Amino acid sequence: MHFCKHCGTVMLPARKKGKIHLVCPSCGYSERKRTETRLTSKQKQEGITIVEKDIINLPKIAKICPKCGFRKAYWWSAQGGKEEISEALYYRCVKCGYVWKEE
């Protein structure tokens, strides 16, 4: 790593007329690089987790889906935005995934 003699910024490699120079991105100072420069990066490989099935950690309730008529649904409660002061109950059909709200 080389620093600019004028402003102290890290100098970056660039090609000028087929030769490698170090150029300051701040002040534009340039000097020819006399030794070979190699840019390398190493990436750490991490394992990938494959999820084959959706896992839903919500409680179930006996509720009829308005879309498909299935009799079980997941439920949760949430408070709405600025216009909604009260808490609303949301349901998601176990079979088709349809989501609806009851206040």
Give the chain as a 3 state SS string: CCECCCCCCECEEEEECCEEEEECCCCCCEEECCCCCCCCCCCCCCCCCCCCCCCCCCCEEECCCCCCCCCEEEEEEEECCCCCCCEEEEEEECCCCCEEEEC
Q: How much is the pTM?
A: 0.45
Same fold, 1-37 and 60-102: yes
**Of all helices (H) and strands (E), which one includes residue 82?**
none
10-47: pLDDT as tens digits: 888 888 777 788 888 888 888 877 666 566 667 677 77
42-99: pLDDT as tens digits: 767 777 776 666 667 889 999 999 999 999 999 998 876 666 567 888 999 999 999 9
Contacts of 27 (CB under 8 A, 6+ apart): 4, 6, 7, 9
Domain 60-102 falls in which CATH fold? N-terminal domain of TfIIb (2.20.25)
Tell which CATH architecture fits domain 1-37.
Single Sheet (2.20)
Q: What are the structural domain ranges in the chain?
A: 1-37, 60-102
